[in-house]
Structure 1
Amino acid sequence: THSFTHMLSRHHHSFSCLSSSKHHPRLSQSSSRFQQLFRLHKYHHSIFSAAQTAAQQFHSGHHCFNSTVHNRNMSTSATSTEQRDSSTHIPRKSHLSHEQSPYLLQHSENPVDWYPWSDQAFELARTQDKPIFLSVGYSTCHWCHVMAHESFENEDIAEYLNENFVSIKVDREERPDVDRVYMAFVQAFTHHGGWPMSVFLTPDLKPFFGGTYFPPEDKYGRPGFKTILQRIAKLWNENREALISQSDQIMQGLQQHTGEASASGGAHSEVALQQPDKYLKLGAMKFMNQFDNVEGGFGDAPKFPRPSILNYLFRVYHMYKESDKEMETFADQILRACLLTLDKMANGGLKDHVGGGFHRYSVDEEWHVPHFEKMLYDQSQLVYSYLDAYVATGNEFYADIARETLSYVQRIMSNGDAFFSAEDADSKPTVDATHGVEGAFYVYEYKELKETISGGQEDDTLKMFCELYDCRPGGNVKPTSDPHGELKNKNHLIQRKTFEEVAKNYNRTTVEVQQMAKDALQKLLAFRQKRPRPHLDDKILVSWNGLMLGAFAKAGAILDNMEYIDVAEKCARFMRDKFYTDNGILMHSYRETIAPIEGYLNDYAFLIHGLLDLYEATGRIDWLEWAQTLQEKQNELFWDKKNHGYFEVTGKDKSILLRMKENYDGAEPAGSSVSAMNLARLGTLLGAHTFTSMAEQCLAQNEYLSRAPHAAPHAACALHQVAHSGRQFALVLPENTRIRESQETRQLLHLIQNRLDPAKSLMFKDEFIGMQHEYLKDATPKGGKSTVYLCEHGSCQQPVNSVEGLKKLLHEE
């Protein structure tokens, strides 16, 4: 069993799903903030003796969840599929029936009388004088499904909830503001967190008790959900003043340490701005100390992709490879770490070899057995990482992985305009099954492989395939990765040998083995299509779409693929047409129609990020202008005028008790980190010193940059951008030239985009850009051809208008 502090020091991002053995490895609070929050824990044990016992028992049981996070399932807290099926389920309609969230709709026929997060529910709690039971999860959450089957479909538990509580169901992806506040409480209260999250509130929304997954009955010395409900109801009726007093103390502490009253890094992080290279190197050294030299990745199992680490290390690699001869060995070590990690992920079970795309994380050190959920934000960020690897090495393998990932997103996670959120880990093993099993869609028995690939014959094709992907008659999943035996006798594809090795063993050419594998995978794809598919969460979120459209734009520019750029532009237009209101406000979520939820910090930051990449891929000034407009609106809505940096919410919604900040870069980069990068890029592109200054202020309040830069790798990327952003490529086009129709122009762009120079800026000189940069005012196309001006610190070198001239300028000939 790992202590929480050890988990923090070892793998921040594995924390958030410990209780559910689940996905979203996003840490909701920083380690330093946790240390502050943990001081609040001393209050919790003095609330009342019964609640103290429940909390302590829950906490002791929680270590079971913690210790088994390395496995694909929880340990003794989990019930079998047969036990789950025994709960009574009498469908009924609830107040969730007309909601848009797929997660809420999954619960709309529970016997629990659920309400959405709404004034109606709050007023009901006040009127009936009842505490609130808040359940937070999301539609592709495995242990959310388990708790639903065990407890929320159980008539006895539902009846007790309905009589004694007002029950509220929240989709954390639709309402991250609600999730963030109460996750902060649960993490302070239990030292752990995850989904499903279960919190008990006063009618004025202040939390007083919480946890994550609870089994329905008492078991192994831990109270079950039914017992907890009874104790909470009794305490509410008999000792309410103590509960409310305790709630007030907890909220005061949370407000002091996480809300508007808290101070950020301030002068502590200004040191990083004064000595950026020192702290960039410090963070890289920390990651290299954690690097697994054999299997890749940073730290032990479970292993998460966390692409922001790779993006950061590629920047440090370029910084030392290009400018510091004494550090070339360190740079080479960094490059090897990035490439080995990307190789192992692409060849391992984290990648879906049959259908494309990447799963959430690996439960083992070999990247073999994953948690099978697929998230849109992972696909987008990993595309960036593989494109970085391609640009750094020129190896088409990395470009192909990016292409396969984008192809998967287009086929499965798109409505033709924008992108869906996630695919579930669970699916029904057969059409007649009543409940899903994790990984059922993605694994194969040996006899299925034999029948599908070689028509039931034990021929060389089958043998080569099984040697290539480590498939065996008894399955290839280790029991330690499958403690409940759900993958027994199953094979999950992992490429342990190279095509060359298999070709040599069977006296074939490498090309023949590659074609064999391609044909066999196509047969498996056709076979798999007959299985029940995992649930698709088809809501469209601005934030994740911003990341994805940026990935398509970047891929289009680097791989010279106009189709990808068209996909990106189509998504950007969808964002503008559907989510952007007449008063300049972004909305957050869409499913058939726009949900009445205004955008959060991440919606603005991630979309601006995507638009900037789209501008650099297309040269269309309207995308840059919209990015600027959104940035100005973001500053108006979220900027902390007192301590600098960005709040995650606007503060308009009075039901959100804490206005919090986030600086930790986890599964998704923090909105503040992305914003710092956006501000730095906009400052350069627009010659806007105000934006550059705000980028520096945003970084200065990030406590990690000077204390633990490895905890904020995307913020460290922004620090690098601020410190090394002098190099600007300005492309001047002849009148009426369209990039997609001009081969010469595309060749120049391709050369610029395929240079590993992460801090470079690319702008397209027109009247608007010329007005922002005095040194480009007189820049013109030379010889009637598209012309590149390479500028630094307000002065430009001699312009070039040919690929050969640009290569000489870049010293690449």
Structure 2
Amino acid sequence: MERESFEDEEVAALLNEHYVSIKVDREERPDIDNLYMSVCQALTGSGGWPLTVLLTPDKKPFFAGTYFPKRQMYGRMGLMEVLGQLQKKWSDNPEQIIEVSDKIMQEIDNHVTKPQQGMLDEDLFDKAFEDYLQTFDPEYGGFGSAPKFPTPHNLLFLMAYSEMYDRREALQMVEKTLEGMYRGGMHDHVGFGFARYSTDEKWLVPHFEKMLYDNALLVMAYLEGYQLTGKRLWAEVAENVLTYIQRDMTSPGGAFYSAEDADSEGVEGKFYLFSQGDVEEALDLKDLDTYCHIYDITPEGNFEGSNIPNLIQAVPQDYAKEHNIKLLELTTQLEKSRQKLFDYREKRVHPFKDDKVLTSWNGLMIAAFAKAAKVIQNPSYTQAATKAADFIWFRMRQEDGRLLARYREGDTAFTAYLDDYAFLMWGLIELYEATGDTEYVKRVISLKDIMIEDFWDEADGGFYFSSRHGEKLLSRSKELYDGAIPSGNSVAALQLSKLAAITQDPELTSLVDRQLQVFTGTAVQYPMGYAMYLLSAMQPFQGGREIVLSGNRDDTHMQDMVAAVQQAYLPGASVVYNWEGEAGEKLRELLPHIADMKPVSGKAAAYICEHFSCKEPVTTLEALREALVDVT
């Protein structure tokens, strides 16, 4: 629409004569987007972008839709016709349009912005699993038909469900999906990272845009897949994504940029596509045949005459067996070819980089780096997460401690939304578990206090999407649907559950229970749309699990126990480090209940607690590992 209408002088003349045109960046103002998307869905039965809404002068909507061509075509109304007809109706009878807009807002207030309560029970998880099973693609992985979105929170729920209820089929769906996404062209096999979604069922042809949030959530899904299966490839995929983020998407100050465009030089995917001639120019002759065979590079191409490197048809392990080559030798050769192709591609015009820093998306990537630091035991990931967290904390907060949503080129703007608080809490809790630094627990508690004060609905429960200090819109909604990004309410419930276990705060536990009940009736209607909510809702049935490790921070045995806990798959469990001496004094002041959880006979000890009670401490690595199996 930008090219067809908004840059067209005829359309512009009509708009400028009769309308006030406002273009909203939905990433900077998701509160506006959420409100008017609800309107579009209520009026048309569906939504999407570009979102086109016409409002009265007091900002009440009376017409909404998504894409409109300039002129009517293929049975779709044109923007010129819509604007002309509605302008005439407004001139002839504005009262009628105002009456329509009032009814629309009443409908939104009564039905769309208010969740449905219900009683939470475990049948909801089984119903969700059955729905996933019905829509699962057994050939390529993923759910539903094209286009396919990664939605990693679906996988996070299914892995937790598989472990909690011993349902191997759930994990098999996850593994097939992880494999399909990795092997397909949606995964950038040359420069790493994942595109936004696949336009086909094979994961071959992506919409080439790369989003920070997708890559953060995918890192966490692949890491948890590695924790559950021990399959090293999944850890390598996560590491490669983080390589891409550190190389291309990290600001000099350590914060993470938002996205890279699909287009370069006005052509979608041009940066990522290769002709066979390109590959021949980039690679040595001795490596050419092997790379082209494995990565599906042909003269005719696999996409509009060009090639998207992928592993859908070939697997390096099988190729090594067929050609009697040692796998290590083959992977070394392929890595050298990848690097040469990457260097060749770097000389091209790059896609535009959206270099704004969003607090919410940075929270997700902080969580991803911190989780990788734990699972892979790589301190460089801790440093990346720490640097980004400090950037947000010291540059994107107001004097009263409240967050701001966006930073770009020294300018911060917009009162933060629920997602900013919930996602940053997620990142900081993961960072505490990676570092044992009490400062991050303090930050989480500070954010929790502000989030409850500014977003919690005391009357009906649940968190509003926008702060009471933000711009007053026509309606304050409560978001639960876990779309491409999980909802702030779902993530807040999960992180507050973990914080309640850390602090042993029964009032916070009650608040989380109430929050979950508020949305149960909504989730029951379509469980697959609420994967992160389901993951959060599993926590009460697991008993608020907490693991307290007590010992000398410099003791190698204590360090081995810490590593064992950090590497274990413990969805929703909280970890507390009760360091001996001054290193742990600040945390004991903050969490007095851990003061009695001391080392046993001078040995580092692990206390595993559920339902506000703890088992006998264990002091050996073997006993700890056995106990961790029981925790999951």
Residue in 2 that maps onto 1:320: 165
Write the distance in 1 (CA, Å) between the matches of 2:419 and 2:151: 17
Asked if 2 retains the 8 angstrom alpha-carbon contact of 1:419 and 1:545, the reply is: yes
Candidates 391, 410, 427, aligned match of 2:246: 410
Candidates 715, 739, 743, aligned match of 2:533: 715
| 2:370 is the alignment partner of 1:516 | no
Matched position secondary structure for 1:660: coil
Q: In structure 2, do the counterparts of structure 1 residues 759 and 225 end up closer, same or farther at CA, with 3 Å as the change threshold?
A: closer
Write the distance in 2 (CA, Å) between the matches of 1:797 and 1:689: 20
| 2:527 is the alignment partner of 1:746 | no
Task: For residues 656-683 of structure 1, give each alpha carbon's deviation from its aligned partner in whole angstroms, at most 9, with x where no partner exists.
Answer: 1111111111111111111111121111
Q: By how many angstroms is 1:226 displaced?
A: 2.4
TM-score by length of 1: 0.74
Q: In structure 2, do the counterparts of structure 1 residues 514 and 732 end up closer, same or farther at CA, with 3 Å as the change threshold?
A: same
Candidates 682, 686, 697, aligned match of 2:499: 682
Q: By how many angstroms is 1:784 displaced?
A: 4.7
Write the distance in 1 (CA, Å) between the matches of 2:136 and 2:64: 36
Q: In structure 2, do the counterparts of structure 1 residues 651 and 779 end up closer, same or farther at CA, with 3 Å as the change threshold?
A: closer
Asked if 2 retains the 8 angstrom alpha-carbon contact of 1:418 and 1:545, the reply is: yes
Candidates 284, 290, 296, aligned match of 1:464: 290
Q: By how many angstroms is 1:653 displaced?
A: 4.5
| 2:396 is the alignment partner of 1:579 | yes
Q: In structure 2, do the counterparts of structure 1 residues 807 and 212 end up closer, same or farther at CA, with 3 Å as the change threshold?
A: closer
Q: In structure 2, do the counterparts of structure 1 residues 211 and 412 end up closer, same or farther at CA, with 3 Å as the change threshold?
A: same
| 2:237 is the alignment partner of 1:401 | yes
Q: In structure 2, do the counterparts of structure 1 residues 704 and 248 end up closer, same or farther at CA, with 3 Å as the change threshold?
A: closer
Write the distance in 2 (CA, Å) between the matches of 1:681 and 1:810: 17
| 2:262 is the alignment partner of 1:425 | yes
Q: By how many angstroms is 1:652 displaced?
A: 4.2
Candidates 455, 470, 473, aligned match of 2:299: 473
| 2:598 is the alignment partner of 1:780 | yes
Instruction: Give the counterpart letter for 2:150 in structure 1.
Output: P
Residue in 1 that maps onto 2:270: 440
TM-score by length of 2: 0.94
Q: By how many angstroms is 1:377 displaced?
A: 0.6
Task: For residues 448-486 of structure 1, give each alpha carbon's deviation from its aligned partner in whole angstroms, at most 9, with x where no partner exists.
Answer: 1122123xx5x5x22221221122110013xxxxxxxxx
Matches within 5 A, 1:284-683: 284-321=129-166, 331-416=167-252, 417-428=254-265, 436-454=266-284, 457=285, 461-477=287-303, 487-653=304-470, 655-683=472-500
Residue in 2 that maps onto 1:756: 569
Matched position secondary structure for 1:168: coil
Residue in 1 that maps onto 2:581: none
Write the distance in 1 (CA, Å) between the matches of 2:468 and 2:624: 50
Q: By how many angstroms is 1:174 displaced?
A: 0.3
Asked if 2 retains the 8 angstrom alpha-carbon contact of 1:651 and 1:659, the reply is: no
Q: By how many angstroms is 1:753 displaced?
A: 2.1
Q: By how many angstroms is 1:191 displaced?
A: 2.4
Residue in 2 that maps onto 1:141: none
| Aligned residue pairs, count | 623
Q: Can you give the 5+ residue segments of structure 1 that lack an aligned partner in the other structure?
A: 1-146, 322-330, 429-435, 478-486
Residue in 2 that maps onto 1:4: none
TM-align CA RMSD:
2.1
| 2:4 is the alignment partner of 1:150 | yes
Matched position secondary structure for 1:790: strand
Write the distance in 2 (CA, Å) between the matches of 1:679 and 1:491: 42
Residue in 2 that maps onto 1:109: none
Asked if 2 retains the 8 angstrom alpha-carbon contact of 1:258 and 1:661, the reply is: no
Task: For residues 586-632 of structure 1, give each alpha carbon's deviation from its aligned partner in whole angstroms, at most 9, with x where no partner exists.
Answer: 11100013433100111111111111111111111111111011111
Write the distance in 1 (CA, Å) between the matches of 2:595 and 2:469: 43
Write the distance in 2 (CA, Å) between the matches of 1:745 and 1:414: 33
Q: In structure 2, do the counterparts of structure 1 residues 169 and 363 end up closer, same or farther at CA, with 3 Å as the change threshold?
A: same
Matched position secondary structure for 2:127: helix
Instruction: Give the counterpart letter for 2:350 in structure 1.
Output: R
Write the distance in 2 (CA, Å) between the matches of 1:380 and 1:386: 10
Q: Can you give the 5+ residue segments of structure 2 that lack an aligned partner in the other structure?
A: 579-583
Task: For residues 233-253 of structure 1, give each alpha carbon's deviation from its aligned partner in whole angstroms, at most 9, with x where no partner exists.
Answer: 222222322222211221222
Matched position secondary structure for 2:538: helix
Write the distance in 1 (CA, Å) between the matches of 2:593 and 2:88: 74
Task: For residues 535-587 of structure 1, give each alpha carbon's deviation from its aligned partner in whole angstroms, at most 9, with x where no partner exists.
Answer: 11111111111111011111101111111111111111111101122212111
Candidates 255, 260, 265, aligned match of 2:116: 265
